[in-house]
Amino acid sequence: MELGKVKHEYGSGPAEIPHAPADHEVLHSMRKKLGIRSPLKSDADLVALVEERLPVAAISALMDHGILEKEIYSVIVPRRTLQHRRTRKEALSREESDRAVRVARLAALTEKIFGDPKEGMLWLRSPKKRFHGRTPVDMMVTETGSRLVEEALYQIDEGMAA
């Protein structure tokens, strides 16, 4: 499937997804964190990646870029499931691919905002009052929690207290 196109659920051919403006710096960082070779130009490319299902190697790439095993297992895919996927040489499911993209996006955004990967990961792993003592990584388990983390990051970037 060509990047930027997804199949219509009810139609016969691929439908063009509008190429929403995306932060190219964040997309480039996500590409590296996921170990993706093809360029990412928009969120539509991310949709295509998730639809096509990421290879299990994306998990190793995330770990190479500072995501801990325990974070992989709690947010993206359970340990046993990952072992089975590796043994059977299966790709991640769409849901697991979506969660991997979510983690890569927030890690890349945090790195951009803090200007340093270590500082960014420290922020992601530190409990926050606004999350009732939970860490941003804990919040990433759900899409809604991830949106709250993203909102906090944008507030930090804009100089608001987060």
- Are the C-beta atoms of residues 91 and 54 closer than 8 Å to each other? yes
pLDDT at residue 161, as a whole number: 63
Residues with Cβ within 8 Å of residue 45, at least 6 apart in sequence: 3, 4, 27, 38, 39
Which amino acid belongs to residue 3? L
Specify the 3-state DSSP secondary structure of 19.
Answer: coil
pLDDT digits (tens, 9 = 90+) for 29-87: 999 999 999 889 999 999 999 999 999 999 999 999 999 999 999 999 999 999 999 99
Q: pLDDT band for 23, please (50, 70, 90 cuts).
A: confident
| Residue 131: CA count within 13 A, CB half-sphere | 26
**How far apart are alpha carbons 68 and 15 in whole angstroms?**
37
* Full-model pTM: 0.83
The alpha carbon dihedral of 68, 66, 146, 76 has a sign of negative
Range of lowest pLDDT (20-24, 81-85, 95-99): 20-24
Which of residues 4 and 41 earns the better pLDDT score? 41
**How far apart are alpha carbons 10 and 131 in whole angstroms?**
39
For the cut 50, the answer to whether the pLDDT of residue 15 exceeds it is no
**How far apart are alpha carbons 120 and 37 in whole angstroms?**
24
Q: pLDDT band for 108, please (50, 70, 90 cuts).
A: very high
**How far apart are alpha carbons 65 and 57 in whole angstroms?**
13
What are the boundaries of each domain within the chain?
Answer: 5-157
